[in-house]
Amino acid sequence: MKIALTTFMLFLTGVAHAVDFDFKAETKLNYRDSESNRFGVKFPFPPIALPIGQTQAFVETPDAGSHAEISDISLFWDVDFESSWAIKAKVDIFDRYEKNPTSTDLPVSLDQFIIRYGTRHTQGELPHDTDGYIQVGKFSKFERQEDRHLESYGLSGTAFNRVEDSGFEAGVDFSSGIYAKLSYTTGNPVFIRDVNALAGDNGTDRTPPPNNDPEIKTGIPILYDAEIESFDLSKNPEKGGGLGYRWLNEDGSQRINFLLYTYKRSLAETIKLHGTFYGGDLDILDVSEVVPGVRLPIKNNKKKESGMNFWWYTQNFSLFSQLVYQDIAGLKRDGWEVELSYAWQVPDVIGITQISPVFRYSKLNNHFVGEPRFPAPSVWWNWQKYDVGFNTDFGENIRLTMEYNINKFIRNKRTEGNNEFLLTLRLRYD
């Protein structure tokens, strides 16, 4: 309540001095064709009675086959004030590809809300003098790839920094190109999701026994940092820091950005997540309450990760790469990805202004193996993902993205897969 009141008073105080107000709306229309795959496990997830006559449980593609759907409607507000204050907000309606569980999560979410003082530099020009900022609210992690070129995510992006966190962040940029960031946030709860478009349903009561064949299946999940459910810094806050260097040539056509970062926090016994009776953090790693004696080989309640990012831009070409090491209660894993993109400017003859081919390779290595009866053994399989696609821009407000996502993972010493084709039409009003 105090944060909301403070925000409202800041808004009223600054409205009279606002120098810029911007509103945007965006919708995404999708055609999705997901391969139908399911892989046997010893217990279902959630562990409930199997249908009559069925002796095998599975993790399987959430929603296989061909589907046309609206995946998201987003509303954006940006207000900049003369006094160096800014307020930014983003509201998502439906947001089908970020809902987890897919069928029971909230239909409307506040995806981003930021109150910021100062100047936050990203990939643009270097400051002439030392600049700094401090912000509070809900925002993306500072190492996340913001200039994404595909609708899908790589394995590293999904596992470690896909969704927003809440709390405080501060940063300083020097004219030399050196910059530093600090954060003090709620920390995203550890949970599970499929790596393709839909997260899948786990722990929902949408289809209770004896009908155990829900419309949205479990997915073939990995562990990931899930959506936050509150703004509470009193319990197990996450502390993060980053140190980076940016370089630009005189005309800005050549740019390099390098960042080292780290985070740490204590895991909660459980974190309540909307739409599922499974809890996040240690609760999803230890299911011994429902399957006696079954848990992942956790050793403590500490969560730590360190990473390295590298961006390179030259003329119409861009490269993004990320390497992350993570330790979740003694469960160690690492992930990395590299994305290449090139933008061809096209003479505006048939309405097409730019075509951008994109290739991304990502990998997730898990350095642990769970108890065979754990309901989702896919969380310790080793994964590789190839994403190939291209964007076609029709001016600034219409983009068509076509991509094919190739998943490979090692299961019982065999290479398996679960691929997906995704076509996205993005329409923007500005």
pLDDT values of the chain reduced to their tens digit, one per residue, 430 residues = 455 545 545 555 555 456 899 999 999 999 999 999 999 887 766 556 666 555 567 899 999 999 999 999 999 999 999 889 999 999 999 899 999 999 999 999 999 999 999 999 888 788 989 999 999 999 999 999 989 999 999 999 999 999 999 999 999 999 999 999 999 999 999 999 999 999 999 988 765 555 567 889 999 999 999 999 889 998 899 999 999 999 999 888 899 999 999 999 999 999 999 999 889 999 999 988 877 888 999 999 999 999 999 999 999 999 999 999 999 999 999 999 999 999 999 887 688 999 999 999 999 999 999 988 888 999 999 999 999 999 999 999 999 999 999 999 999 899 999 999 999 999 999 8
The answer to whether the beta carbons of residues 175 and 208 sit under 8 Å apart is no
Tally of domains in the chain = 1
pLDDT for res 172: 97
**Cα–Cα distance, 300 to 337 (Å, whole number):** 28
Between strands 131-139 and 165-173, the pairing is antiparallel
Beta pairing partners, 74: 26, 92
E strand residue ranges, 369-418: 383-393, 398-411, 414-417
pLDDT, one tens digit per residue, over 284-326 is 999 888 778 889 999 999 999 999 999 999 999 999 999 999 9
Q: Can you say how many angstroms the Cα of residue 223 is from the centroid of all Cα atoms in its chain?
A: 12
**Cα–Cα distance, 59 to 83 (Å, whole number):** 53
- What residues contact 405, with CB distance under 8 A and at least 6 apart? 152, 196, 385, 386, 387, 419, 420, 421, 422
DSSP string computed for 147-166: S--SSS--HHHHHHSSS-EE
Residue range of the domain that includes 95: 2-429
Residue 277 backbone dihedrals phi, psi, to 5 degrees: -90, 0
pLDDT for res 292: 81
pLDDT for res 250: 86
pLDDT, one tens digit per residue, over 103-159 is 999 999 999 999 999 999 888 788 989 999 999 999 999 999 989 999 999 999 999
Beta pairing partners, 309: 259, 322
CATH value at residue 303: 2.40.160.10
Rg (CA), the chain: 22
